[in-house]
Structure 1
Amino acid sequence: MKFNSDKTEEDGRFEDGEGREYRYSIGDNGALLIWEKEAGGHIAKKAEPFVIYGPAAWFSVVGDARSSHDDPPARVRGF
């Protein structure tokens, strides 16, 4: 995810300098939810969004959408 006012690297990706990555998803009411995670980490199932923008506050988004790859791996019982 890249904010309009943020500096980007030559490849176009946003780097916050602290090893965090950001993902977005769209809520049921049209709100834009921004999720924060450590680079290479996961977003906890009970995590709260880092930022929420109301439906009238945004018109487009550039970046990586939240996907199942951002969820923690499933735990296997009995091992």
Structure 2
Amino acid sequence: MAKQAPRFKYYAQNQMSLIPHSLEDFIPKLHPVRIINTVIDKLDLESLYASYAKCGGVSYHPKMLLKVLIYGYLNNV
């Protein structure tokens, strides 16, 4: 039986919105969220991906959830 990979919901951070602006245009260049984004994008998260179930519904992408979690901690939320 072939090993099935976990499935995640579509996650495209640089996706254009319905309005002509990219969400990137609304975030200041030196905002802390950019640092979090850069650091998380460079991490090897394969062990995190492996912890997800191989069956069932499609999950939110763990990389996106980790970014939200760390940003929340940074802002005491």
TM class, shorter-chain normalised? under 0.3
Give the TM-score normalised by the residue count of structure 2: 0.21
Give the TM-score normalised by the residue count of structure 1: 0.21
Higher helix share: 2
